[in-house]
Chain A
Amino acid sequence: MVRTNYDRQMAEMNRLLLTMGAAVENAIEMAVQALADQDRQLAEKTIISDDEIDSLEKEIEQICLNLILRQQPVAGDLRRVSTVLKMITDLERIGDHAEDISEITLLLTGSTYAHHPSHIFTMAEITKKMVTDSLNAFVRDDRGLARAVIGSDDQVDQLFCMVKSDLIALVHEDIAEGEKAMDWLMVAKYLERVGDHAVNIAEWVIFSITGQHKNSRIL
């Protein structure tokens, strides 16, 4: 029965983190689906869903700070609380990018996609998986999975370069496509950033498991 209240708060922190993770995964999923299908309603729903993500961030932040102040966690508990505190910032940003993509979707709908930038959807698939895997790595204390997430980022960066080349070619072909090409490039950039945030999360997950961040001790 020693420190049951403490354990309860740690469990609540984990539960809310998973809720926030699921909401963020869902937001990317919806944002990409709305983009692919030119679905305005789904894009608007994605934008609204960001409020829930923001309020979850606040709630988790509060629990983490409360734990640090009141329970003075040490060892694995300290690593876990500080990791969660860092993770939620990245998760919140990923949520923002899902919203950003949906805002662009609203601009793009109604127009025909003369050139379907298929690499973007490949990027979306990979980055979404990176986010999911980084959260699973945290839940399962799986260092290998966290490393795999970090490794996936090169692929995302390559795809971004390919999207960029495709779009430059598109503008060369037809200058009237210029504005749309810029919107697509923004979408690709947001997805590339989602990948970066997933990498940040994975790096903190490794810290949570090992006490080392980017191969060095920070405490």
Chain B
Amino acid sequence: METETCVQTSALNLYYSDFQALRSVSLAIPRKHITALIGPSGCGKSSFLKVLNRMTDLIDHCRVEGQVLLADEDIYAAAVDPIMLRKRVGMVFQKPNPFPMSIYDNIAYGPRLHGQKGKHQLDEIVEKSLAAAALWEETKDRLKKSALSLSGGQQQRLSIARALAVEPELLLMDEPTSALDPISTGKIEELVFELKRSYTIIIVTHNMQQAVRISDMTGFFLLGELVEFANTNNMFTAPQDKRTEDYITGRFG
């Protein structure tokens, strides 16, 4: 079965002033799969995520060249509204970042912003999103409590639930477990694995074992260049590039 592409970049260059952070990256991310991006610090993997939901717009002196197609639509075209784009491309960060409001309002925030006012519909969205993030059972009796009362692992699942509430096509995760303990990490990994039934996920991780455990495809970045992009099993058993081999076997980086 041919896998559909969710997002595709062609000859993508990214500059922060004079510094080139991405060098001609061409990559097709398959839909409803988990793609892991690995590479040493400063290799461009997080910058790549920022390009995909135009967070680069928010950075001064940042310039993007090349093309990014989300479901065949150029996301840098003049007609594209970045707010609408970020509804389609959700993001979860390294540190859980609940808004200082109730659990319920955290989840309802995005849908409200996009015009959803009905109480009944919002209740449904909140339950569905929390359930999808495996947080419903733990929070259903305390939805009105502050999100800041949750543990770190729960807060990260809340961040995922909040991203899911606006039903994105693509979910970007930038080291989502690096601030969590092993049990919370395990729960997030399980969750990510479940989410790929419905979502396309790109996860940046410094934890190579994590990339192997959960991803279908892996991309290895080095000095702004995509060195290798392959099926995860293939990459971790027989990488094609010597630099990939050296990195994943811990010989540099």
Cβ-defined contact, A69 with B190, below 8 A? no
| Bound-state Cα–Cα, A151 to B236, Å | 42
Cβ-defined contact, A2 with B213, below 8 A? no
Shortest distance from the beta carbon of A111 to any chain B beta carbon, whole Å: 52
Chain B residues positioned under 8 Å from A70 (CB to CB):
212-213, 232-233
**Interface 1/0s, chain A 49-77, versus B by CB < 8 A?**
00000000000000001100111100000
Cβ-defined contact, B190 with A5, below 8 A? yes
Q: Contacts A69-B233, A69-B236, A69-B237 given: A2-B186 contact, CB under 8 Å? A: yes
| Bound-state Cα–Cα, A65 to B190, Å | 20
Interface of B is mostly: helix
Cβ-defined contact, A3 with B212, below 8 A? no
Cβ-defined contact, B212 with A2, below 8 A? no
Q: Does B3 sit within 8 A of A, measured CB to CB?
A: no
How many A-B contacts if CB must be within 8 Å? 26
List 16 additional A-B contacts (Cβ < 8 Å) besides A2-B187, A2-B190, A72-B213: A1-B134, A2-B183, A2-B186, A3-B186, A4-B190, A5-B190, A5-B193, A65-B237, A66-B233, A69-B236, A69-B237, A70-B213, A70-B232, A70-B233, A71-B213, A72-B209
- A/B interface sample: 19 pairs, CB < 8 A: A1-B190, A2-B183, A2-B186, A2-B187, A2-B190, A3-B190, A5-B190, A5-B193, A65-B237, A66-B233, A69-B212, A69-B233, A69-B236, A70-B213, A70-B233, A71-B213, A72-B209, A72-B212, A72-B213
Q: Which residues of B contact A (CB under 8 A)?
A: 134, 183, 186-187, 190, 193, 209, 212-213, 232-233, 236-237
- The 8 closest A-B CB pairs, nearest first, are A2-B186, A70-B212, A70-B213, A1-B190, A5-B193, A69-B236, A3-B186, A72-B209
